[in-house]
Structure 1
Amino acid sequence: MTFESGPTYKSAEEVLAKTGFWHWRVFIVVLSACSCWALNATPFMIPTFAAECDKCETEKVTIKKEFNVPAGFWGIELMSSALFLGNMCFGLITAYLADIFGRRIIILISMFCFGALGALSIFSTSYAVLLVFRFLQGAFFGTTTTVPYVLASECVEFRWHPYVIGLLGLWWSVGYSITALIGYICTTWQQMMLVTSIPSILASIYFYFTLPESFIFLVDNKRVKDINDWINRMQNPKDPVQCNVEHMLQQIDATQESMATNTLSASMKYLIHHKKYMIYLIGSTIISVFAFYLYLGVAVGTDVKLEELGPYWVYLLGGFIEIPGYLCTPIILTRFRQQYAIAGVHVFAGCALFSMVVTPSSTKTLYLIEWLVSKFAMSMCFQCMFIFVGDLYPAIIRNTCVGISTAFGNLGGMFVLQIYAEAQNVLNGKLPMLIYTAMCFINAAVIMSYPKSIGHEP
């Protein structure tokens, strides 16, 4: 229980330091929020098998076959582009709604709609109708990835945020890997879309009864009763949090009066008066665009072929190799200066990708190993992007700037497969690898161009 008298807590961070990270009640909340990434990974990646699967061992009714979709820039690759376009158009709006109405309710609505739209898409009578459903799904894709991260990170102390990112990545790997099993078992694209969509609907119902609101959101909105309820629910009964909530809110108001209004207009005014963050925003947008492009490109936009294993096992290996990457990232970020560590990870990824440029793809085993190393490195790069971009900005503009960066980051995912389709026959198929390599080194340079003092407390 909470008390009207007790230790003086001056910030939400101090309360979260008391409730901890490993206490099972808190950890279950973090784990549940992070599981949204597993539920998102399967619908996101299922076009790998549902859209076209020419090398699959068994005959499948794919989207390409059913609707006679051509290859090329405006062909089957639009399945991924439509999702990213929807996210870019509406992702910032839905994410901003989470700042107004709360993280929890937006997660519930977004998860339900994301799953429902995917399930309804099986009734599409044409490829154009299917793309509309995919576009509408994209409107909720961003909020089912970024908002769960925000909720989870706002329920634990700041120093645990890299570990939250690690859990997100592990859940993503689970969903990513399960996609191969779904693609193998299902024989039609409708089955694949339905099987990957239903879990999101069920999860939204489960979260309605189990997922609490973000503690930071409750504090920012001064919801005293809900704050007390949250503490009572999450505290360790053997070591209760004796917090005078009203006094804590007064302390926060006294120290953060200038940041009391975290609205879009306040964020824009802050950006106008602090022009260095406008420059930061340009850089973080470049990082985000390249990060999205690189992750999806290395995942599916390569010429890795190993007929002896088949497409399912190659895909599954790509999912498994991400797991050590997600485990290593929190360790690297907590042991080394984040800016140097993140830039170093990108350099490592660039070197791994360049090795694929100089190695003939006919050397199948070596080429596969180099791709797996690149995939391992890319999983770390994508994780680091979330942490680095978030740490660039003070709290009053953090959500807005991160939202803008990731919204435009969808441009990278939107066109990667189209560019790959056009570039895969240039320079003996090595042009895509050269593009990926250059992007890694550019991102590393952009990261190192920021002042050495970047990073803000929440």
Structure 2
Amino acid sequence: MKDYAQSVAFLGQWGCFQQVVFFLLCASIVPNGFGAFTLVFLTDVPGHRCVVPDYNLTEDWRNTVIPVQVVNGKQQLSRCSRFRLDVVRNLSARGFIPGRDVNLTDLEQEGCVDGWSYSRDVYQSTIVTEFDLVCSDQWKMTFTSAVFFVGVLFGAFFSGQLSDRFGRKPVLFATMAVQMFLTFFQIFSTSWIMFTVLLFINGLGQISNFAAALVLGTEILTGNVRVLYSSMGAWLSFAIGYMMLPVVAYFLRDWKSLLLALSLPCLAYLPLWWLIPESPRWLLSQGRVEEAESIVRKAAKWNKVQAPVDIFRDYLVNNKTDPKDTHNAVDLMRTSSIRNTTLILCLVSFTVCTGYFGLSFNTSQLHANPYMSCFISAAVEVPAYISGWLALRFFPRRRSICFTLLLQATSLFLILLVPQSLPILSMALEMLAKYAVTITFSMMFAFIAELYPTLLRNTAVGICSTVGRLGNCIAPYLVTTNIYLLHLPHIIMGTLGFVAAFATLFLPESFGRPLPETIQQMHKRERIKCPCITGKETRVSMVLMDGQVID
């Protein structure tokens, strides 16, 4: 009995066709790297203080009209208040000198009724300076980031099901177009509300095209090349985009110029429609055999090999799928076996996303220069993605993910034991945790794609990604819990890591096994591991959707 990989084995694994698909899909992922973290610069708050109109104040009063406050043990000029100008103007006109004739602590203060003056030492402008998202409106800045991640969450949920329904390729290019055009349209925002609405729509396509590209490559490529793409290839492309962001932002200090530079190059991706094929696996699952064979025969010409007369005859005999048989997210919860797998993967995805974005936001403060901070946070991911590829290449998925989750959790808890006099050691442990969680992050999409059949693969990736994106939404708020307890963020992320590591042991293994094409094939893999008792795997009896019982 042949599966898909055996049916197309005559193509080889690394011919001209596979190389084109590999590198073009990797190129399509690069914009996700800088798009996912653009808000780091768009929403950064530059130094600011109240505007003081020219009221013919004396030099002494002009220098003291902004009160001094103590923040974190340091004195600094107030960002959100000033002394009442009518009082100051009257005192200045009468020749009083502040500090000598007038006790400044007795003067009444007021808000920045005339607006704010922003420092341009780092940025020419951000959306914070554009729409005055400071002081009483500072909540809008955090809310803006939350809206973006909510858009990502909805995009991940619906794009997976749309991809399983209409194909990988249409959803990939549709979400790329959403990301490109909405990034461009944000430049013309005339209000914070307009910017936020466009940002939400932009979020719908931001990570959705990444998931579609990952699944498309996973289904087209085979063998070690598939592992290379789904781990190191795709994720290194993401890291390249991530590292490009601070470089571009450094030279373009204006938020509109930055968005323009991030959107216009995406036009170069439109011709890829005629070069990137649809997934033959998906076409076969829809009963579109002729289209699947046409793609494979074209691949054979590119690779200069001879294709068999009937490529998928044996494959179809043993992997019959009713083209009218449609599936959706409900099928991920229909049987106890698939339900357990889905719930555990959702827990792990949530843990990984919370840890990844939580540590990313926290490590952004490693350096006083925000561009350097962002670059360091991105650069540490390169060795992590290489390690993730090696783990997927040579080690079982379940044990690898369990180990990296334990490494992340242990590193975070060890930070609690480090005295405050050794900040470098704390930083090293936090970077080790970032390294570990990034490895897990890079492995999760590949692991999920390998566990589910073709009809449910993109839906499963989308659902697990959706739950994971909830971690994105809470990560910025999680970091701020250190105001209640210094290491509370580390405790929360570490605890989640330990729980997820234990839950991972109850997932089926996919290492060295072909991708399942049908739900029946997925059921044959479903086993619950009991490592603490016997070290053996126990089969679970289950009832399939058609009523058939499998032991």
Task: Tell me the amino acid that sits aligned with residue 393 of structure 1.
Answer: Y
1:178 aligned partner: 244
Structure 1: unaligned runs, 5 residues or longer: 1-8
SS of the aligned residue for 1:424 comes to: helix
Write the distance in 2 (CA, Å) between the matches of 1:253 and 1:232. 17
The structure 1 segments of at least 4 consecutive aligned residues displaced by more than 6 Å after TM superposition are: 452-456
Which of the two has greater strand per residue? 2
2:403 & 2:450 partners in 1: Cα distance?
17
The aligned runs of 1:177-256 (5 Å cut-off) are 177-203=243-269, 205-235=270-300, 240-245=305-310, 248-256=311-319
Q: What residue in structure 2 maps to residue 425 of structure 1?
A: 483
What is the alpha-carbon root mean square deviation over aligned residues? Answer: 2.8
* DSSP-derived class of the 1:135 partner: helix
Percent of pairs with identical residues: 21
Name 2:506's counterpart in structure 1: 449
Aligned residue runs from structure 1 range 401-440, under 5 A? 401-421=460-480, 423-428=481-486, 430-440=487-497
| Counterpart mapping for 1:3-402 below 5 A | 10-54=2-46, 58-70=122-134, 74-165=139-230, 166-203=232-269, 205-235=270-300, 240-245=305-310, 248-257=311-320, 263-264=326-327, 268=330, 271-272=333-334, 274-302=335-363, 304-307=365-368, 310-359=369-418, 363-402=422-461
| Matched length | 441
What is the CA deviation profile of residues 311-347 of structure 1, one whole-angstrom value per residue up to 9, with x for unaligned ones?
A: 2223212211211111111212232222111100111
The alpha-carbon deviation at position 178 of structure 1 amounts to 0.6
Q: How far 1:303 moved relative to its partner? A: 7.2
**Offset, 1:40:** 1.1
Whole-angstrom distance in 1 between the partners of 2:133 and 2:179: 24
Q: Distance in 2 between matches of 1:238 and 1:209?
A: 18
Contact 1:293 1:413 in 2 (8 A): yes
Q: Which amino acid aligns with 1:264?
A: H
| Counterpart amino acid of residue 178 in structure 2 | C
- Structure 1 position 228, deviation (Å): 4.0
TM-score after normalising by structure 1: 0.87
Structure 1 position 351, deviation (Å): 2.2
CA contact (8 A) 2:349 2:468 kept: yes
1:78 shift after superposition: 2.8
Displacement, 1:119?
0.8
- CA-CA distance at 1:366 after TM superposition: 3.4
Q: 1:436 to 1:269 in 2, by over 3 A?
A: closer
Larger CA Rg, structure 1 vs 2: 2
TM-score by structure 2 length? 0.73
| Structure 2 unaligned residues grouped into runs of 5+ | 48-119, 517-551
Measure the CA separation in 1 of the matches of 2:303 and 2:209: 34
- C-alpha distance in 1, partners of 2:468/2:332? 23
Give 1 or 2: higher helix fraction. Answer: 1
Higher mean displacement: 89-98 or 361-370: 361-370
Amino acid paired to 1:256? N
Q: Distance between the aligned counterparts of 2:192 and 2:419, measured in 1? A: 37
Cα pair distance change 1:20/1:436, threshold 3 Å: farther
**CA distance in 2: counterparts of 1:199 and 1:438, whole angstroms:** 42
Query: For residues 305 and 364 of structure 1, do their structure 2 counterparts lie closer, same or farther at Cα, with a shift above 3 Å needed?
Result: farther
Greater relative contact order (Cα < 8 A, sep 6+): 1
